[in-house]
Amino acid sequence: MEVIVVDDGSTDGSADELPGLPLRYVWKENGGISSARNLGISLATGDLIAFLDVDDLWKKDKLSTQMRVMREQSSLISYTDEIWMRNGKWFNQGHRHRKYSGLIYQHCLPLCIISPSSAVISRQIFDDVGKFDESMPVCEDYDMWLRIACRYPVLFVDKQLIIKQGGHADQLSRHFEAIDRFRIRSLVKMVSQGALTPDQRALTLKELRRKCAIYAQGARKRGRLEEAAEYATLPSTLDLSCGTTQQP
């Protein structure tokens, strides 16, 4: 087992805390969370890869539990349930964050239900679907899980094995307005790349139409009429380009 710490150009003296620990430390120019994860994937020598984001915590038995269950069920990817904290207080997840096991592509379309820090993934999967999209400043995990879930069954380990800590001022999602536009970008990619089954494609277009309608409505309320028109017509443009006549 190896531990790789990727320092994405931090200036807070983090590296000073690491000497003497059994790990590999790598500093890089700041490029965002996807570039940091991708560098870690490239440097890793093991067959299984796990992530631990800076604001999350693993419970002590997380990896051993997941690896045991993955061996028993011959799974190439697993994720776990999680405990959520916001501003130092525990709170419950909503129903929309419910977790699923198996062929879960349709459940990944509305929002990201897999926390990167909960996942253990075979390198074989990254060789197949590629690494994280470095052009996406947020929702890069949503994009990755769509690419994986449309091809592979995903094993859910029904134990709360990570703690997610939110609400702090430097949380990445706070720096971007209307982040659903990045999810829309991912859905457009999924439809355009031709990797989906007919049923998956129909589900993806349905979710794309829903998200575009909501986004267009918000843009109209804010007086961004040109942007609203662009998003309102986007799904039908994709449908026509793919040889269908479905309307949003």
Q: Is residue 247 part of a domain?
A: no
Based on the domain organization, do 150 and 45 belong to the same domain? yes
> Which range marks the domain in which residue 217 is found?
180-241
Taken in order 123, 128, 130, 132, the sign of the CA dihedral is negative
- Model confidence at 113, pLDDT cuts 50, 70, 90, reads very high
Last residue of a domain, one of 175, 190, 225: 175
Based on the domain organization, do 170 and 186 belong to the same domain? no
Based on the domain organization, do 126 and 197 belong to the same domain? no
What's the pLDDT score for residue 17?
Answer: 84
Q: Is residue 84 part of a domain?
A: yes
pTM (2 d.p.): 0.89
Q: 125-167 pLDDT, tens per residue?
A: 999 999 999 999 999 999 999 999 999 999 999 999 999 987 6
Q: 59-98 pLDDT, tens per residue?
A: 999 999 999 999 999 999 999 999 998 877 877 776 778 9
The number of domains in the chain is: 2
Cα–Cα distance for residue pair 17/122, rounded to 1 Å: 30
* CATH assignment of the domain containing 90: 3.90.550.10
Q: Is residue 246 part of a domain?
A: no
Cα–Cα distance for residue pair 50/65, rounded to 1 Å: 13
